[in-house]
Structures are given as C-alpha cells and as structure tokens.
Chain A
Amino acid sequence: MLAATILALLVVMVLALVRALLGPTIYDRILAVNVFGTKTVVLIAVICFTLGKPEFLDIALVYALINFVSVVGVLRYFEFRSGSRDQGAGRHEYTPGEGGAGS
C-alpha cells in the first residue's frame, strides 16, 4: 500500500508540475508549486516509512516550514508589484468602515 501511495504521489506531483508549466497566470503557477511542495512533504514521510528510517521525518518537517515561508514570500513579492491593478484601491477595501459591500 505504501508503494501505491508513493506512485500516486509521484503522479500527482507530475500533474502539478504540468499545471505549473502550463499555468496562464503567475497565480496558477504559485498554486501548483504550493501543491507540489505539500505533496513533497507527504512523499518524504511515506518514503521514510517505506525505508524504515524515522529520522527522515525531520526533513519532512523542515520542508513543510520552508514550503510555507517560500510560498508566502513569493506571494508578497507578486502581490503589490507593478503588474497588479490599482494598488491603492485594493488596499482601500480593507480599511474598516469602508468595507466592500456598501456598508
């Protein structure tokens, strides 16, 4: 069953990579890379049980942290870049009392 899980994980990672290469927007790519990273964490955990080496779980733990930090970092870089549409209006929505739905 563990071998089948590894196989499924590899298939899923390939599909995510295809979406990352294909993705029309940068956000599709970031989403696919995020999925890829999460699946990598699970893959490392499953592999460490297949090989019977519980020490590898530390690597999965660190990879989970790095994955999250890198995704958020890349998002912060692209969120307020020049490509984004009227940044002022985007920020304006989040000020209290001026909320979007005509409140």
Chain B
Amino acid sequence: MSDLLVDGLSGLLLALGCLFMVSGAVGLLRFPDFYTRMHAAGVTDTLATFLIVCALMLQAGWSLALFKLGLILLFIFFTSPAASHALAKAAQHSPLRLEPVAEQGADEAFPEPGQGTEIAEPALEADAANADRA
C-alpha cells in the first residue's frame, strides 16, 4: 500500500515536472525577445528540476542516493537563479539593455509638487482640443 502510494506520488511529480519542462522549452523556442525567453527558461528550469528530483528522491528510499539527490537539488537551487541573474546582468551591459523607466527624466517620473501642474498642462490642453473637435 505504502509502495503504491510512493510510486503514484513519484509518477505524479514526474508528470508535472515534464509538463513544466516542456512548456518552458516551448517558451524558450517561441517567445519573441531575449528577456521573455529568459523568463520562460528561468522560471520553469528550477521548478521542473525540483519536481523531477523530488520524484527520484521518493523512489530512492533511505539510501546514499537520497543524500546525493538532495545535494544535486541544493546545487541547482543555488546555481540556477545565480546563473539567470548573471545572464540578465550581462545582457544589461550589452546592446540588449533595457532602459529604466525613470531614465527619461527623474523629474517626470517622480514630479516635485510644484512641477506637477506644468507637466499636466499639455495633457489638459490636448483634452480640451479633443473636446472642441468632438
């Protein structure tokens, strides 16, 4: 009974891991630019590995293999986000760089109380013009 339960749980975890893995790979292949691809790969990578290694741990039982699998899981848990972060940082130093929103002008992004009306005025004028036209 207990064996059946462990086998079933292990199979379920393996199936879930496969699902996440394949969806991540499809995202890696089909998403339009680098950062979305990195999102697909980085998110599913750790989760799918976690699920599959957990399923293997269930099948291993109490043995040395369990310890080694735990070690693999620990390494991947630390190294996979670190690698994703290093990749994103390297891409930020390249022509792929995404500009921060605030870089258009710190004043516009975080307006001072006195400057707020100055920025809002053109928008108000545009609204008034549209209203006249309509």
Partners in one complex: yes
In Å, the complex CA distance between A100 and B49 comes to 35
0/1 interface trace, chain B 61-93, chain A, CB 8 Å (1 if under): 001110011011001100110110011011111
Q: Number of contact residues on B: which range applies?
A: 35 or more
Q: How distant is A17 from chain B, measured CB to nearest CB, in Å?
A: 10
CB–CB A68/B79 < 8 A: yes
CB–CB B56/A45 < 8 A: yes
Q: CB < 8 Å: which of A31, A34, A54 contacts B68? A: A54
In Å, the complex CA distance between A88 and B79 comes to 28
In Å, the complex CA distance between A49 and B26 comes to 27
Q: Tally A residues with Cβ within 8 Å of B.
A: 50
Q: How distant is A27 from chain B, measured CB to nearest CB, in Å?
A: 5
Q: CB < 8 Å: which of B26, B49, B100 contacts A38? A: B49
Q: How distant is B95 from chain A, measured CB to nearest CB, in Å?
A: 5
Using a CB–CB distance below 8 Å, which chain A residues touch chain B? 1-2, 4-5, 8-9, 11-12, 15-16, 18-19, 25, 27-28, 30-32, 34-35, 38-39, 41-42, 45-46, 49, 54, 57-58, 60-61, 64-65, 67-68, 71-72, 75, 78-80, 83-85, 87, 90, 100-102
Using a CB–CB distance below 8 Å, which chain B residues touch chain A? 10-11, 14-15, 17-18, 21-22, 24-26, 28-29, 34, 37-38, 41, 45, 48-49, 52-53, 56, 59-60, 63-65, 68-69, 71-72, 75-76, 79-80, 82-83, 86-87, 89-97, 100, 102-103, 106, 109-110
